[in-house]
Structure 1
Amino acid sequence: MASESAGETITRRHRSGSNTVGVLVVTAVLLAAFVAVALTALSASDVYSLYGLPDPGTFTKYGLSVARLLTEAGAVVSIGSLLLAAFGIPAQRSGALAADGYAAVRTAGWAALVWAVAAASLAPFTAADASGRPVTEVLSAEVFFGLFGAIAEVQSWTLTALVAALVFVGCRLVLSWGWTVTLFALALGGLMPMIASGHSASGGAHDLATNSLLIHLYSATLWVGGLVALLAHAARGGAHLGLVARRYSAVALVCWGALALSGILNALVRVPLTQVFTTTYGALVLVKTAAVVVLGVFGYLQRQRAVRRIADGGARSLMQLGAVELLTMFATFGVAVALSRTPPPAELGPPPGRTELLIGYPVEFAPTAARLLFDFRFDLIFGTLALVLAGLYLAGVRRLSQRGDQWPVGRTLAWLCGCATIFFATSMGVGVYAPAMFSVHMGQHMLLSMLAPVLLVLGGPTSLALRALPASGKDAPDGAREWLVAFLHSPVTRFLTNPFVALALFVGSFYALYFSGLFDAALPQHWAHLAMNAHFLLVGYVFYWPVIGVDPAPRPLQPLAKVGLVFVSMPFHAFFGIALMMSNTVIGQNFYQSLALPFMTDLLADQRLGGGLAWASGEVPLVVVMLALLIQWSRADARQARRIDRKADADGDADLSAYNAMLQQLADKDSGRSSS
């Protein structure tokens, strides 16, 4: 009976808090819808005539804005609630979610349902808008499926709806912390189709625009969604409110900085500085920028004030201040939706060239050694990743140094060289020419999958993090160190570091990508290039971690097994390069021909050059791996010798004395036999 009473209390508290925040969120969505519709009416009234399309009607025009807003609101609340459940509210020691964490997951589930339904409705609305027909005509199965195959944005919203539906089902079943983290990752993946559509995915400089939009959308989602979840937790009277608020405030500050910088960059790609003050699009950008700046400064200061007062009953203050911040955030969402319905000046100017339209920028000159080494176009995703990884590593080394601990210089150099390799492969000349030439792409592939991971695993980042991050303590809630330990011991990590799985991913992905048609389909899509680079880097790290990694692997390998794993991979890798060199079929032929680069007259020769690079580059990592293994074995023998010496000093060399005594006994027995 006592447990039932406690359960009823939790249920009542959850319903009361959900009702309070639910009313607030509905109010915020209505405000955002009003802003979006009003600004769309002012800014997008002539968008159809500008693009030469018939007006699909008022219901389609404004219904699309409302459906887009509901989609984004559902995604924001769902992801923010999962963020809170996974990393804000401490889970139980058993790994099960606490009552407040489970309440946040349930909220995420209902928000995901809204997300799925709204995204599904966006598919016909988008088809109607793009074809200039009323949405009632597009609802015909024959018409819709005809447009579905022709409009990529319709396909993106359909995929988004499917991912959101999976998140909804998962939230109804999840009870553990590990699966909550998995759902959180799945929900984040559901944002990718939204990024792949819209103004930023097309036109000139769409590589910078899409990358900045990716950072922008993820930052906004975590910032706004986390605030909704925090307010819901406060309204429920949830436990550890001060801790949850402090964790969210740190996340919000980082997201605000990333949001502001990426938003400015994305806007500059779409509207020239000379037209910021003279066009409707520029005016909307200024309004949105001002709102983000005010929100960031005001929200951070007020949250810090509320966190200090939580112990003295400041939860009400947090709710009041958070409500104002949330309403302003959703009004900004309305401005963003209006921006998505307004043609940017860059799209109304002279059309970009063929190469710029396909890869985002012009490629005018043939690659030379100097161009491959020194040309520069910053990759907002992987260039930023390389800089952040290097900065975090150096911060960890500095923390150890400040408390008097030493960290091997060789590991630091290896890690920094790995980060430099990522930066060079994505932001220097190799990264510039990789989308346009198969041979350079293959060189980038080799750098990201075979050289950078070798250097990164030699840096021992996990060991550094475990030493630099503070432990939470016996009775304190889990923190970053405990989350890292849980990830290292998770079934996913153990599965991926299985030697057979790692080998299959590392070698098999070469054949699956290039000989199955996936590469041909991925070439025109910028997001697919990001996915390929991430895949190359991750599978390389997973393969080399148990082989030469300084960090202990979940599945330790014996020295001979490590050498055997490397040598087993060599024939598969060599045969892949030879197969490319001997092939008479050009991979990605349609895309490379459409670029029409004047210096690319023989695509097959360029492919064979790429195959030669793939074949030859396999020798470099092998040398590095073998050197690393020899050094590690030598150091292991030296450590073993030191342990034996220390033990001998401590016990007076008891083992040697016992061994000598045994030999003496045997000798005495032999001499006794011979005398008899």
Structure 2
Amino acid sequence: MSAEAEPARSAAAEGSAAGAVSAPSAPASPALSVSPASSVSQRRPRRPAALGPFLLTGGLLSAAVAVGIVVLTGGLSYAVAGLTDPGDVTRYGIMVVRVGADLSAAVSVGSLLLATFLVPPQKSGTLDVDGYAAVRAAGTAAWLWFLFAIASVFFTAADGAGKPVTAVFDPVVLLNYVEAIEQPKGWLITAAVALLLALGCRLVLSWGWTAVLFFLSVGGLLPIAATGHSASGGSHDMATNSLLFHLIGAALWVGGLIALLAHARRRGDHLPLATARFSKLALVCWFVLGASGVVNALVRVAPAQLFTTDYGLVVLAKVVAIAVLGVFGHQHRQRSVREIGDGAGGGAFVRLAAVEVLVMFVTFGLATALARTPPPLEIAAQPSTTELLIGYDLDGPLTLLGVFTEWRFNLVYGTVAIALAALYLAGVRALRRRGDAWPVGRTVAWLSGTAVLLFATSSGLGRYSPAMFSIHMIGHMTLNMMVPILLVLGGPVTLALRALPPSGRGRPPGPREWLLALVHSPIARVLTHPVVALVIFVGSFYVLYYSGLFAVALDQHWAHLAMNAHFLLAGYVFFWPIIGIDPAPRQLPPLGKLGLLMASVPFHAFFGVVLMNMQTVIGESFYRSLDLPWVDGLLADQRVGGGIAWASGELPVLIVMIALLVQWTRSDEREAKRSDRREEATGDAELTAYNAMLKQLAERGAQRD
């Protein structure tokens, strides 16, 4: 599935001048339902999907391709790694279970994709018969995913230890290998996610919980990317980041097409809508798959070695397969959409999609073979300790000039920053094309936030952040405070609700309705509760750095990605109800906003003071392993980081205070204008009544005298 992964892989406005968001009509509240599928069972598919034999054939084809290529290349990987050959059962069995895990994962992800976004639910928010059938298929695939993941634990442990798989059947031996080798740990986490999916798919009937299961299934792909051999060796930061995109893109594309093929074979409703929606997604996935595959391959093989090495030839074969898939898939889906729209039925789609899926199975096999073929650069390279630990070498101390010149593009957060800026500008353009205005200040705030996100993760700050605690703390404070403040001032939800067209009465819900459902979801209401937001925002500082969690995570690239995501989301959830342009699920009064802001200040200051006075180094073993000659004492560098944490809260608080003052002033101005309009409409009735009351009080006082 991956190019390299070793064990895996306008009307519709905001409602008012203040941007109020109305509650969504569909999908409805995502309540968990465990009652019998009464409304669903009344309508059954007229014809079963019957894709089991087809998928089994495709899985065997993928495994045969993978095994055949490894046999042709001679299984050199064990000699390169210096390990004992574990035998044929382990050598080839690991590829079979990997193909099974990848295929079942893709079917589970794709089926949940179909149920969540490609076919609409009922008006009540309960899944329709097509969504219900897809969820049940996802559940079956999740059970297979779970079994293959458990099998992968045994095979990857045996493969990493250079032992026959029968040698790790002993629980004590297996536990020792799992503790020592990262890949079996990743498969254990994947197995746990697959088990949750399998159980969840038996319980849910509502659209909202189906969406939760879909995002959980996508998350189940990540442990494999984080623990495969992309996550080790030189340039593992770039390899892992590209692999994340690659696995997700492949699962959505392959799994989505298989789910759509099953939907067409059971003659489900809304096939034109599902096909049109998937066609747009497939184009994006094809681009992501191709771009990430190229990046991943260039990390492992030089262009000159593409035609002279086994690894390079397999890469070229996979590139050709993906290119053929992209052209063929796009052409046949465009044709199928027209035929289905003309009432020709889904027969042509089923035939052409089946061929496309078979080509995808071959691509699966090529990807699995790549995972077992040693890259030539990996064979020849002898990376330094610094490159092994953080993915690249550092030439010297970070200077002020180096902050702006020593860039290393972060493939995850750099791409996210560029994509967020592009989507926002597209929304602004859509408004202006239909004659609607959008405040320039909001656009400036949003673009500034994305620029700061790009700078904090890809400039010299992002490059040196994994190696120096003081630089890490600059990045932490920037991502946790400065970036979220700028983003919430951009009002992205309000812009999206104005730019996205509503589905219309009687039509299936679309992106605008999905966004409304997210904003009004119970999860959003809980996270934006003042107490919860405050605890997450300030409590995470203490939990991360003082519990030993940060020290454990330092040598894991995936942990750095997760930390940055937490910093961003925690800051966004905290500042959204305080100064956000978008109406939060929980509205706070002005004094409540100010109080929530001021309540966080002492915790930040105390955190920095404690850091500056600590006598032990957090993550000392990792930083000593780097042994950077220009770091003048680890404790001194940590104290600098504490000073940064203590002092860096001043500027964001000042920005928030200014934003609050401006918002309150504008609110008073709007209230004054509304009052003036009322007076003009009623002829100063309120003032006349007030004067009459004063006159009456004066007369009563005179009578008493």
Same fold by TM-score greater than 0.5: yes
Structure 2 residue aligned with 1:578: 609
Q: Is the 8 A contact 1:442 1:613 kept in 2?
A: yes
Residues 1:452 and 1:12: Cα distance change in structure 2 (over 3 Å)? closer
Structure 1 residue aligned with 2:78: 48
Q: Which moved more, 1:63-72 or 1:660-669?
A: 660-669
State the distance in 1 between where 2:614 and 2:583 align: 41
Structure 2 residue aligned with 1:338: 369
State the distance in 1 between where 2:458 and 2:294 align: 20
Alignment of 1:389-400 (within 5 A): 389-400=420-431
Q: 1:99 aligns with which of 103, 126, 129?
A: 129
Report how far residue 269 of structure 1 moved.
0.3
1:270 corresponds to 2:305:
no
State the distance in 2 between where 1:203 and 1:383 align: 22
Alignment of 1:152-167 (within 5 A): 152-167=182-197
Structure 2 residue aligned with 1:386: 417
Structure 1 residue aligned with 2:20: none
Q: Is the 8 A contact 2:197 2:217 kept in 1?
A: yes
The structure, 1 or 2, with the larger RCO (C-alpha pairs under 8 Å, 6+ apart) is 2
Structure 2 residue aligned with 1:323: 354
Structure 1 residue aligned with 2:29: none
State the distance in 1 between where 2:148 and 2:106 align: 13
Q: Is the 8 A contact 1:84 1:226 kept in 2?
A: yes
Report how far residue 45 of structure 1 moved.
2.3
Alignment of 1:428-443 (within 5 A): 428-443=459-474
Kindly provide the CA deviation profile for residues 177-215 of structure 1, in whole angstroms up to 9, marking residues without a partner as x.
111111111111111111012231111111111000100
Structure 1 residue aligned with 2:21: none
Report how far residue 41 of structure 1 moved.
1.1
Report how far residue 495 of structure 1 moved.
0.2
State the distance in 2 between where 1:44 and 1:483 align: 51
Report how far residue 229 of structure 1 moved.
0.8
Q: 1:364 aligns with which of 376, 395, 402?
A: 395
Structure 2 residue aligned with 1:649: 680
Q: 2:174 aligns with which of 108, 121, 144?
A: 144
Q: Is the 8 A contact 1:44 1:341 kept in 2?
A: no
Structure 1 residue aligned with 2:230: 200
Alignment of 1:69-84 (within 5 A): 69-84=99-114
| Secondary structure in structure 2 of the residue aligned to 1:90 | coil
Kindly provide the CA deviation profile for residues 563-596 of structure 1, in whole angstroms up to 9, marking residues without a partner as x.
1111111111100000000001100101010011
1:616 corresponds to 2:647:
yes
RMSD across aligned positions (CA) = 1.5
State the distance in 1 between where 2:255 and 2:648 align: 45
Structure 2 residue aligned with 1:541: 572
Tell me the amino acid that sits aligned with residue 338 of structure 2: R
Report how far residue 666 of structure 1 moved.
2.9
1:348 corresponds to 2:370:
no
Q: Is the 8 A contact 1:359 1:435 kept in 2?
A: yes
Q: Is the 8 A contact 1:198 1:340 kept in 2?
A: no
Residues 1:6 and 1:472: Cα distance change in structure 2 (over 3 Å)? closer
Structure 1 residue aligned with 2:432: 401
Kindly provide the CA deviation profile for residues 527-550 of structure 1, in whole angstroms up to 9, marking residues without a partner as x.
000000000000000000001111
1:124 corresponds to 2:154:
yes
1:507 corresponds to 2:538:
yes
State the distance in 2 between where 1:196 and 1:31 align: 27
Q: Is the 8 A contact 1:277 1:283 kept in 2?
A: yes
Report how far residue 52 of structure 1 moved.
2.3
Structure 2 residue aligned with 1:174: 204
State the distance in 2 between where 1:4 and 1:413 align: 49
Q: Is the 8 A contact 1:17 1:233 kept in 2?
A: no
| Secondary structure in structure 1 of the residue aligned to 2:49 | helix
State the distance in 2 between where 1:271 and 1:479 align: 42
1:57 corresponds to 2:87:
yes
| Secondary structure in structure 2 of the residue aligned to 1:421 | helix
Report how far residue 436 of structure 1 moved.
0.4
Q: Is the 8 A contact 1:411 1:460 kept in 2?
A: yes
Structure 1 residue aligned with 2:485: 454
| Secondary structure in structure 2 of the residue aligned to 1:475 | coil
Structure 2 residue aligned with 1:425: 456
| Secondary structure in structure 1 of the residue aligned to 2:202 | helix
State the distance in 2 between where 1:517 and 1:17 align: 53
Q: Is the 8 A contact 1:546 1:553 kept in 2?
A: yes
Report how far residue 671 of structure 1 moved.
4.2
Structure 2 residue aligned with 1:186: 216
Kindly provide the CA deviation profile for residues 110-151 of structure 1, in whole angstroms up to 9, marking residues without a partner as x.
000010000100111111111221111121223211211111
Report how far residue 8 of structure 1 moved.
6.9
Structure 2 residue aligned with 1:87: 117
- Segments of 5+ residues of structure 1 without an aligned counterpart are none
Residues 1:563 and 1:6: Cα distance change in structure 2 (over 3 Å)? closer
Larger helix fraction of residues: 1
TM-score (norm 1): 0.97
Aligned length: 669
Tell me the amino acid that sits aligned with residue 486 of structure 2: L
1:629 corresponds to 2:629:
no
Structure 1 residue aligned with 2:31: none
Structure 1 residue aligned with 2:528: 497
Structure 1 residue aligned with 2:30: none
State the distance in 2 between where 1:351 and 1:5 align: 63
Q: Is the 8 A contact 2:40 2:129 kept in 1?
A: no
| Secondary structure in structure 2 of the residue aligned to 1:45 | coil
1:288 corresponds to 2:324:
no
Kindly provide the CA deviation profile for residues 604-627 of structure 1, in whole angstroms up to 9, marking residues without a partner as x.
000000000000001111100100
State the distance in 2 between where 1:235 and 1:375 align: 54
State the distance in 1 between where 2:376 and 2:270 align: 49
Q: 2:557 aligns with which of 507, 511, 526?
A: 526
State the distance in 2 between where 1:438 and 1:619 align: 20
State the distance in 1 between where 2:344 and 2:689 align: 71
Report how far residue 158 of structure 1 moved.
1.2
State the distance in 2 between where 1:5 and 1:144 align: 45
Q: Is the 8 A contact 2:44 2:129 kept in 1?
A: no
Q: 2:692 aligns with which of 654, 661, 664?
A: 661
State the distance in 2 between where 1:598 and 1:290 align: 46
Q: Which moved more, 1:131-140 or 1:437-446?
A: 131-140
State the distance in 2 between where 1:487 and 1:154 align: 35
Residues 1:369 and 1:97: Cα distance change in structure 2 (over 3 Å)? same
Report how far residue 59 of structure 1 moved.
1.1
State the distance in 2 between where 1:41 and 1:326 align: 25
Kindly provide the CA deviation profile for residues 346-368 of structure 1, in whole angstroms up to 9, marking residues without a partner as x.
11013111101110110121011
Structure 2 residue aligned with 1:234: 264
Q: 2:255 aligns with which of 225, 244, 266?
A: 225
Report how far residue 7 of structure 1 moved.
6.9
Tell me the amino acid that sits aligned with residue 219 of structure 2: G
State the distance in 2 between where 1:233 and 1:85 align: 10
| Secondary structure in structure 2 of the residue aligned to 1:364 | coil
Tell me the amino acid that sits aligned with residue 378 of structure 1: F
Report how far residue 9 of structure 1 moved.
7.5
1:553 corresponds to 2:584:
yes
Structure 2 residue aligned with 1:68: 98
Q: 1:214 aligns with which of 244, 254, 268?
A: 244
